[in-house]
Chain A
Amino acid sequence: QSVLTQPPSASGTPGQRITISCSGSSSNIGSNYVFWYQQLPGTAPQLLVYRNNDRPSGAPDRFSVSKSGTSASLAISGLRSEDEGDYYCAAWDDSLGGQVFGGGTKLTVL
């Protein structure tokens, strides 16, 4: 059971815009920044977008984030086949004193 709650799966067609939700509590998302990671099949996770739509070098701006209260979401516009993989949200949890992750959302591009 993950501290942050994500839907287990999401899907869309090429070019479509989809969103992935991440629900937490006042001790994590409600009081700290949210980070989103992409894990392509057989590879390590990579930071995708974080805080107020900050992106690491090379990360496309097709990925954007929003946050409201104790929930956050990742939006992917212009869906591409290479976006297929697992997506995780994460945040620091003040009560646990550590990072907490969502259970991951498997994205399928139809």
Chain B
Amino acid sequence: QVQLVESGGGVVQPGRSLRLSCAASGFTFSSYAMHWVRQAPGKGLEWVAVISYDGRKKNYADSVKGRFTISRDNSHNTLDLHMNSLRREDTAIFYCARDLASDFWSGYPGGINFWGQGTLVTVSS
């Protein structure tokens, strides 16, 4: 069955960096677009970033653009999120998620169909 296991969360000071990883199994990782979605404590879901099946296309939410970088290693079935210049408002559970589709474009028929259990990132001094 599909499994997505996030790691790398923890407590980090404002302005510092952190790298999250997601280990995927149970499906052909290289065939699907992947997302990061976060959820601040007691708040709703916020989409963070998406990467196409081959890593060539990436999009980011405005709130993280220029600070976060999504990447993938299809040979090791892993998805990463490199987070720089962290702010207190980045405190959240970060979920790795798989798309229905391999790629994304305007009007594409895809969306998130599997979620990991999440890893908590706390930005605090």
Chain A residues engaging chain B, CB cutoff 8 angstroms: 2, 31-33, 35, 37, 43-47, 50-51, 56, 86, 88, 90-92, 94, 96-104
Contact = CB atoms under 8 A, between A and B. Distances in A.
Contacts, number: 70
A90 B107 CA distance: 14
Interface in B37-83: 37, 44-47, 49-50, 59-62
A8 to B, nearest CB: 10
Given A44-B117, A44-B118, A97 B59 contact: yes
A31 B115 contact: no
A50 B113 CA distance: 9
B109 A101 contact: no
Contacts of A97: 59
Contacts of A45: 45, 95, 115
Contacts of A32: 107-108
B82 to A, nearest CB: 18
Contacts of A86: 44
B47 A101 contact: yes
A50 B45 contact: no
Given A45-B45, A88-B45, A98 B61 contact: yes
Contact of B108 (A2, A50, A56, A92): A92
A104 B45 CA distance: 8
Given A44-B118, A45-B115, A98-B50, 11 more contacts: A32-B108, A33-B111, A35-B113, A44-B117, A47-B114, A88-B44, A90-B111, A92-B104, A98-B47, A99-B37, A101-B44
Contact of B115 (A46, A50, A92): A46
B50 A33 contact: no
